[in-house]
Amino acid sequence: MNRMTLTELRYIVAVSQKNHFGLASQACFVSQPTLSIAIKKLEGELGVRLFERSSKNEIRITEIGQQVIDQAHIVLQETRILSEIAQQGKDPLSGTFKLGVIYTIGPYLLPSLIPKLKKLAPNLKLIIEENFTINLYQSLKQGVLDAIIISYPFAEPGIETVPLYEEPFVVALPRDHAWNKRKEIPPEDLAQEDLMLLGAGHCFRDQVINACPNCMLGNSEITRSLEGGSLETIRHMVAAGTGITVLPQTSILHSYHDDERLIDFKPFKAPAPSRTVAIAWRKHYPRKETIATIRETIQASPLNGVEILR
Amino acid sequence: MNRMTLTELRYIVAVSQKNHFGLASQACFVSQPTLSIAIKKLEGELGVRLFERSSKNEIRITEIGQQVIDQAHIVLQETRILSEIAQQGKDPLSGTFKLGVIYTIGPYLLPSLIPKLKKLAPNLKLIIEENFTINLYQSLKQGVLDAIIISYPFAEPGIETVPLYEEPFVVALPRDHAWNKRKEIPPEDLAQEDLMLLGAGHCFRDQVINACPNCMLGNSEITRSLEGGSLETIRHMVAAGTGITVLPQTSILHSYHDDERLIDFKPFKAPAPSRTVAIAWRKHYPRKETIATIRETIQASPLNGVEILR
DNA sequence: CTTTGTTCATAGTTTTTATTCATCACAAGT
DNA sequence: ACTTGTGATGAATAAAAACTATGAACAAAG
C-alpha cells in the first residue's frame, strides 16, 4: 500500500505548466528521469494516464489528467495555507493565552499588567480568570489555563513555578484606632484585636493566620459573615470602624478612594510577614517564551513596595 | 529544503484523534518511534510545537497545533477527492470523447452509431464534428479531437489508423435515364455523362475522379456550382434529372424519401470502385480502449452492403 | 536514406529518507 | 524503592527517491 505524495503532485503541476518533462524537472530542481518515474508511479497508483507523451512536440494533458491536476492545485494550495497557519503561530506573542490569577492578587496586579501586555503584544489575546488557587491549579492541570499567578507555597507535580515578587503584609486600622500612633505592629499583637479575614479557600487568609499567632482566638461572628467577601469589602469595613485587618502591600496602591482618609496602614515589625507571588505552568507547556514575556512585563515595572525575585 | 509530507499529516491527525502516540502509531500501522520522529520533523519544519507531551496522562494539542491539524484534515480530504476523481476517470467509457467524421460518412454512419454507443456507454459524452479530412486531421493532431473517421488513403506521421469497412460506389441515375436497363456500369462509361461531383476538399470527389477515367472531361458548369454542396444536394439534383452521380453504397440506406422513386442505383462493373472507411487516432493517445469500443460498435452491426475489414 | 537533435523511458547505482528494534528517561502510582 | 506507562533516542536496516548514463522513438534536415 503505497500512497501518493505531495512531491508527485508538484511534479504533475509542473509538467502541466511547462508542457515538457525536461523543463518541468528543471523547475522542480530534479533530474528528468526522477520526474518521469514519479509521474509513472502516480499514474500507476491512480490507474489513469495523466499525460499523453509524443516523442516530438509537446505533452498533451488527458481529460482526466486535467481534472487530477486541477485537484492537485487545490491540495497544494491547502498545504500552503497550512504552512502559513504555522508561520503565524510561530510568534509567541500571538494567539490566545489564558491566564489565571488568584482573587487576592488579580485586582492589584491586573490593572497595570493588562495595558502593558496589550501594548507589548498587541496580537496576544489574553483571557483572564480569577479564582481560588485550588481551582486555578485544576484548570491549569487540565489545560484549560496556560499559566496561573498564585502565591507560595505552591508545589505540584508536573507544574513549574517561578517567583515574581515578594510583598509584605500590612495592618489596616480605622483612623480612630488606639494603635494609630504606633510606627509598627508585631504580628502577635493581632491576637488582641477583632481581626477580619477572608473566607476559607483564600490562601491569603491562611497566610495571615500562619503569620499571626493566635489571631483567630477572638474569632468573631463578623469574620464568619465575611465568607465569600473580598479584600475590598473588608477594607470598607475597616474604614467603617468595624475592626482591623491585614492586607497585602499592593492593595494600598488602590486606596485612592474615600476609604483612604479613614484607614491607617501600619507595617509589621520586622521580619514582616509577606507572601511570594509566583507564576506557574505545566512543565511541558510549549509556549514558555510567552510566559517569559508576561513574567518580564510584571517584573520590569513592579508594583510599589514589592521586592522583585529572580 | 525539505517539505512536509502527507504521511506526516496523517500522523498528526491520528495523534489528535487518539491523544496518544502509541495508539496513533498503531492506527497508522507504523512503530511508535516512526511516528515520534516524523512529528518531530514536522514540528521542526513548521517551527511550532503541535503537541504538548506529558509523560503520564494524555497528549495535549496546542492552540496552533489544533489549527494545523484542522488544516491537515482539509488537505487530506482534498487528496481523497483527487483519488476519487481518478477512480471515476478509470472507466474508459466515461468522460468526454470528441469524434470527427468526414462529411461524406457522417450522415450515413452516425444515425445508427450514436444510439448504439449511447446504450453501450451511457456515461460517455460523445461530441461529434463533421468536416473535411484535412481539418479533422489538424484537429486530431492538435488534440482537439480524440479520434476521426475518415476514408483511405490516410497516412500521417504520429497517427494510427485501423480500417473499419469497405463500401463500394454506385451510380445514381434519374429513372428516365438511357442506362436504366443496364445491370452494371463500367467506370469508364461515366466520361460520357454529365457527372455531378462534390466540391474540392471532399476526398470522395477525388476518389470518384480516380476511379472513373476521364469523367471530368465533360466538366460542366453545374459541377462548379456545386462547390459547398453535399451528397444529399446532389442526390436531389439526380432525382430532378439534372445529371448523374456516384454515391457511396451506404448513402442508399438513407433513400427513404421521395427521391427514391426517381433514382436508379446501379452497381459498377467489377472490380467496383470503393472506399475504405477507417478510424484514426494519435499514436500515443491513452484511451485506446474507448476507441476499440467505438470500432467494435461500428463493426458489430455494419451498414448494409459494406464489407467489414479486420 | 542516413544523420542529427529532441524527448521521454529505462537500467544501474548512490544517496537520502523512513522505519524498526531495543533501550532510555521520566513521571505516577503502588 | 519498584513497577508501569509514556514518549524520546540510537544504531541498524529497509525503502524510497534521486542521479548519471544510456536507449528508443521519431521528426526534421542533410
Residues in chain A closer than 8 A to B63 (CB atoms): 89, 95-96
- Return d(Cα A195, Cα A218) in angstroms, integer: 8
- The confidence band for B220, taking pLDDT boundaries of 50, 70 and 90, is low
If phi > 0 it is left, if psi is from -120 to 50 it is alpha, else beta; for residue B47 that is: left
Compute the distance between CA of residue B144 and CA of residue B168 in angstroms, rounded to an integer.
31
Tell me how far apart the alpha carbons of residues A39 and A11 are, in angstroms, rounded to a whole number.
Answer: 7
Q: Is the CB of B6 under 7 A from strand D?
A: no
B 45-84: CB within 7 Å of strand C? 54-56
Q: What is the mean pLDDT of residues A163-176?
A: 89
The confidence score (pLDDT) of residue B216 equals 66
Whether residues A282 and B54 touch (CB distance < 8 A) is answered with yes
Q: Does B256 score more than 70 pLDDT?
A: no
Residue A251: the pLDDT is: 84
Would you state the pLDDT for residue B202? 85
Q: What is the mean pLDDT of residues A297-303?
A: 86
Distance from CA of B139 to the nearest CA of A (A): 13
Comparing C-alpha atoms, which of B55, B42, B62, B18 is closest to residue A283? B55
Which among B228, B231, B177 has a CA at the least distance from the CA of B204? Answer: B231
Mean model confidence pLDDT for chain A: 85
For residue A256, the model assigns a pLDDT of 56
DSSP type of residue A185 = B
A&B contacts, CB < 8 Å: 116
pLDDT at B101: 94
Identify the pLDDT of residue A4: 92
Closest CA to B61 of B13, B108, B103, B133: B13
Kindly tell me if the per-residue pLDDT of A255 is higher than 60. Answer: no
Q: Cβ within 7 Å of strand D: which of B 115-174?
A: 157-158
Query: Which residues have a Cβ under 8 Å from the Cβ of B186 and sit 6 or more positions away?
Result: B268, B269
pLDDT of residue B1: 61
Q: Tell me the pLDDT tens digit for each residue of B102-155.
A: 999 988 889 989 999 999 999 899 999 999 888 888 888 878 899 999 998 888
Q: pLDDT at residue B81 above 80?
A: yes
Give the distance, in angstroms, between the CA of residue A165 and the centroid of all CA atoms in the same chain.
Answer: 18
- Rounded-to-integer distance, Cα B36 and Cα B54, Å: 14
- Digit-coded pLDDT (tens) for B153-185: 888 878 888 999 999 998 888 888 778 777 788
CA–CA separation, B149 and B97 (whole Å): 13
The predicted pLDDT at position B143 comes to: 83
In this complex, do A64 and B284 lie within 8 Å of one another by their Cβ atoms? no
Contact: A54, B284; criterion CB under 8 Å: yes
- Is residue A285 within 8 A of residue A291, CB to CB? The reply is yes
Chain A interface test: which of B64, B96, B140, B156 (most A C-beta within 10 Å): B64
- Provide, in whole angstroms, the distance separating residue B154's CA from nucleotide D29's C1': 24
- Residues A24-82 have pLDDT tens digits of 999 999 999 999 999 999 999 998 999 988 766 678 899 899 999 989 988 998 898 89
Q: Using pLDDT thresholds of 50, 70 and 90, give the confidence band for residue A155.
A: confident
- Give the CA-to-C1' distance from A284 to C17 in angstroms: 29
Predicted confidence at residue A57, as pLDDT, reads 64
Residue B247 has pLDDT above 70, yes or no: yes
Q: Which residues of A touch B48 (CB under 8 A)?
A: 86, 89-90
Query: Strand C nucleotides below 7 A of a protein CB?
Result: 5-12, 17-22, 25-29
A75/B71 touch (CB, cutoff 8 Å), yes or no: no
pLDDT at B11: 93
Interchain proximity B71–A85, CB inside 8 Å: yes
Amino acid at A270: A
- Provide the phi-psi class of B44: left if phi over 0, else alpha when psi is between -120 and 50, else beta: alpha
Q: What's the pLDDT at A116?
A: 92
B60 touches chain A (CB under 8 A): yes
Q: What average pLDDT score do residues B206-210 get?
A: 80
- Nucleotide C9 C1' to residue A62 CA (A): 19
Residue A207 pLDDT more than 90? no
**Looking at this protein, which amino acid is placed at residue B73?**
H
Cell 498545504, residue?
A79
Which of B5, B47, B52 lies nearest to residue A86, judging by beta carbons? B47
Q: If you measure CA to CA, which chain A residue comes closest to B70?
A: A82
DSSP track, A246-307: EEEGGGGGG--STHHHHEEEEEBSSSPPEEEEEEEEETT-S-HHHHHHHHHHHHHSPPTT-E
Residue B78 forms contact with A (CB below 8 Å): yes
pLDDT of residue A228: 66
Question: What is the per-residue pLDDT for A224?
Answer: 61
Chain A partners of B3 at a C-beta cutoff of 8 Å?
A: 6-7
> Is cis: bond before A271, omega within 30 of 0?
yes
CB of A157 less than 8 A from some CB of B? no
Q: How far apart are CA A212 and CA A206, in angstroms?
A: 10
pTM: 0.77
* B19-61 residue pLDDT tens: 889 889 999 999 999 999 999 999 999 989 999 887 666 788 9
Strand D contact residues in chain B (29-48), C-beta within 7 Å? 32-33, 36-37, 39-40
Residues 6+ apart with CB under 8 A from B68: A82, A85, A86, A89, B12, B46, B48, B50
Q: Does the distance separating the beta carbons of A75 and B85 come in below 8 Å?
A: no
Distances (CA, A) of A79 to A66, B233, B248: 20, 61, 60
Is B75 in the A-facing interface, judged by CB distances under 8 Å? yes
Tell me how far CA of residue B198 lies from CA of A27, B175, B222, B265, in angstroms.
Answer: 52, 22, 11, 18
Q: What's the pLDDT tens digit per position in A73-130?
A: 889 988 988 998 998 888 888 889 999 999 999 888 899 899 999 999 998 999 999 9
B284 Cβ under 8 Å from any chain A Cβ: yes
Nucleotide nearest to B24 (CA to C1'): D7
Element at A20 (helix H, strand E): none
- Report whether A119 contacts A127 (CB < 8 A): no
Please check whether strand C approaches the CB of B7 to within 7 Å: yes
- Optimal mutation site among A13, A48, A58, A90, interface B, most CBs of chain B within 10 A: A48
Q: Which residue is nearest to nucleotide D10 (CA to C1')?
A: B33
Beta pairing, strands B60-61 & B51-52: antiparallel
CB-based contact, B253 to chain A, within 8 Å = no
Q: How many CB atoms sit inside 10 A of residue B155's CB?
A: 8
CA–CA gap between residue B99 and residue B105 (Å, rounded): 13
Burial class from Cβ neighbours inside 10 Å (0-12, 13-18, 19+) for residue B275 reads buried
- A85 lies within 8 A of chain B by CB: yes
More confident residue, A261 or B225: A261
All 3 cell numbers of residue A111? 490593572
Beta carbons of B47 and A87 less than 8 Å apart: yes
Confidence of residue B2 (pLDDT cuts 50, 70, 90): low
CB A92 within 8 Å of CB A289? yes
Judge whether A48 is closer than 8 Å to chain B, CB to CB. Answer: yes
Categorize the per-residue pLDDT at A7 as very low, low, confident or very high, splitting at 50, 70 and 90: very high
Would an 8 Å CB–CB cutoff place B178 in contact with chain A? no
DSSP reduced 3-state for A163: strand
Closest by Cα among A123, A153, A157 to A140: A157
Per-residue model confidence (pLDDT) at position A275: 93
Find the residue closest to C5 using CA and C1' atoms. Answer: A56
Determine the average pLDDT of the residues in A300-304.
Answer: 81
The arithmetic mean of pLDDT across residues B275-302, rounded, is 90
